[in-house]
Structure 1
Amino acid sequence: MRVIFAGTPDFAARHLQALIDSADFDIVAVYTQPDRPAGRGQKLQPSAVKQLAQQHGLAIEQPPSLKTASAQQQLAQYQADVMVVVAYGLMLPQAVLDMPRYGCINVHGSLLPRWRGAAPIQRALWAGDSDTGVAIMTMELGLDSGPVLATARLAISPEDTSASLYDKLAELGPQALLDCLRQLPSKLKQAQPQDPSTVTYAHKLSKDEAQLDWQQPATVLERWVRAFNPWPICWFIANNGEVVKVWRSSAETSTSSASPGTILSADKHGIVIQTSAGALRLLELQPAGKKPLSAADFLNGRSDWLGVGSCLAAVAAAGAAHGR
């Protein structure tokens, strides 16, 4: 089977590696985003997919768009049976979708139709889903709306962050992709249309959204901390006006009648803050310009930032929509 692979980040590169390791597929070209400036020097850096393709001597294409006639003519010359798309980052016009013999298929990090869109891994954690997985679908012009060919499911653990869940799905997806491709003609005949009544959207994350809102229950805030780790990282404003990021936390019961945002205790075991239901214990924090610190190390020299009995500032736009 002649395969064009299109993808950009590490998640995509792991799927490309699986195709490379298999003897069943002929990878005729690899499409990836143009090199981007990165780091302090803002030097152009190739994507993870490009680096892997270079290591294996694969043909590489990096068009800024697939909407031009020249880009489409180049793609057509590869005479692909299928185009596999994983976190590519460019829209595929109808002409490209129709070009390969079996069309274009996409690996998406959710159990479609739940969490279509840009941040499905983080949104599953954020919402408190009990499980997630990958879905392989045929591509059409709509956003992640094509019929589903196959799914692979896994449970979300109480300790998962978006980083750990990303790694788990990056292990699960490649095998599901290989299994699907090996049975592609029959899978296409059995493709299941998505139920529009159960669609949810995984909107992009924002730094503003990651501000901890003490009017929320502690169990919700603890999920947010895990969902937004490693980006954009949950944060709050300390009593001295400094922004403090939170890398780890735990939710616990509280019998206090204090207002949400009140600091109930602050010691080496954590900084405990009252919420609308229960308390959130902050275990690992990061002051601006510093590395993440344990609660004990954070309080060393900064105890006045989080004085016991003081009340932290409320979110300015409490109740704003969080991606639903």
Structure 2
Amino acid sequence: MNKLKVVFAGTPDFAKVALHALIDKADELNIDIVAVYTQPDRKAGRGQKLAQSPVKELALSHNIPVEQPPTFSLKSDDGKVARETLANYRPDVMVVCAYGLILPMGVLNTPRFGCLNIHGSLLPRWRGAAPIHRSILAGDDESGITIMQMNEGLDTGDMLYKVSCQINDLDTTQTLHDRLATLGGQAMITVLKDLKNYQNNAQKQDETLVNYAQKISTDEGQINWNNSANHINRQIRALNAYTFLNSERIKILECLPIKPEQTTSEPAGKIISVGKKAILIACGADDNGNGHLINITKMQWAGGKPLSAEQIAVGDKLQDGQMFDL
């Protein structure tokens, strides 16, 4: 039986996990990963040296050919060459995971079975660029992976397979990212084991249930202490959250789950207690009109290292009664 020729397209660590899973199961799946597509090398770090993507590093370590076209657009010579190169691999299917390049219909139709996308949400909820961040920000109870048959729209293709996972009150973008990355690889393996069946039973997305995971902006990380403790808790877990004390920017890195019994009538943004286990800060009222405390466990001052609550308390970095800028 001829092996299924697979082209993989992805760039960051999320995609690397999926590629690793396919490499490990290649014999069992009877697939041949004939090429890997990833974003061109980018300058990174303080030295601004060119750095390879995580996907490229993994592919090269397994002697898989790597392609890094800047575009697939027929308006440029680079795009024309990229399409010819892809066609020459004669792929049966293209697996796409956080690739970062728009794939025109000419590319989507090149593989015999089209292009399959590993998307980090339960579509049609959270189409778009930042589904993991948005699910935590929104207070969702669950997230998951959708394997989708790609079309020209933004995550609008038919769904082949979905698998869910719970979001707990300690999950951050990073922890949920890591779980979903593993689930994504497993889900794609499931689909490739019986690809024709999954494609024959594909389901269209319900457009009435669609919402969009817009790209995260830096401003969204700024904490407004007038917001509820639950809102701020989700902001810290989902984003690069920050606040200001006397106009000095401070990152808020970690916090504990909200304790319903920790109510307060103190003004929002006031430091109630600088303790060795947590720094208690008053937040604004919730929908029931109650103010609550949030327990911050890790912070970072500009130019400094991350500090635990105990390090902050011992180092006298904060004082009871101080007010964060609103």
Residue matched to 2:266: 258
1:15 aligns with 18
2:244 to 207, 229, 237: 237
Distance 1:307 1:19 in 2: 52
- Code of the residue aligned with 1:6 in structure 2: it is A
Q: Does 2:142 correspond to 1:131?
A: yes
2:309 is aligned to 295
CA shift in 2, pair 1:215/1:59, >3 Å: same
Q: Secondary structure at the match of 2:64?
A: coil
Counterpart of 2:217 in structure 1 is: 206
**1:46-76 Cα deviation digits (max 9, x unpaired):** 1111111111111111100011222111111
Cα 1:279–1:80 shift into 2, 3 Å: same
Between the aligned residues of both structures, percent identity stands at 47
> 1:271-310 alignment to 2 at 5 Å?
271-276=279-284, 277-303=291-317, 306-310=318-322
**Are 1:176 and 2:187 matched, yes or no?**
yes
| Alpha-carbon RMSD | 1.4
Q: Could you tell me how far apart the structure 2 residues matched to 1:217 and 1:195 are?
A: 32
Q: State the partner residue of 2:172.
A: 161
SS at match of 1:275: strand
Match of 2:9 among 6, 18, 22: 6
- The 8 Å contact of residues 107 and 177 in structure 1, kept in 2 or not, is answered as yes
Unaligned 5+ segments in structure 2 are 74-78, 285-290
State the secondary structure of the residue aligned to 1:18.
Answer: helix
CA deviation after TM superposition for structure 1 residue 4, in Å: 0.7
| Aligned position for 1:322 | none
Contact (CA 8 Å) 1:134, 1:169: kept in 2 or not?
yes
| TM-score w.r.t. length of structure 1 | 0.91
Inter-partner Cα distance in structure 2 for 1:137 and 1:255: 45
Number of equivalent positions: 307
Q: Measure how far apart 1:301 and its partner are.
A: 4.5
Partner residue in 2 for 1:150: 161
User: Within the alignment, does 1:51 sit opposite 2:57 as a pair?
Assistant: yes
Partner of 1:84: 95
Q: How far does the alpha carbon of each residue in 1:99-148 deviate from its partner, in whole angstroms, 9 at most, with x for none?
A: 11111110001101111111111111111111111000011111111010
Aligned partners of 1:129 and 1:81: how far apart in 2?
A: 36
- Name 1:321's counterpart in structure 2: none
Matched, 1:37 2:49: no
- Corresponding letter in the other structure for 1:288: A
SS at match of 2:124: coil
Q: Is the 8 A contact 1:254 1:274 kept in 2?
A: no
Task: Name the SS for the 1:30 alignment partner.
Answer: strand
2:287 corresponding residue in structure 1: none
Q: What is the TM-score with the length of structure 2 in the denominator? A: 0.90
Deviation at 1:198, TM superposition (A): 0.9
Cα distance, 1:161 vs. partner?
A: 1.0
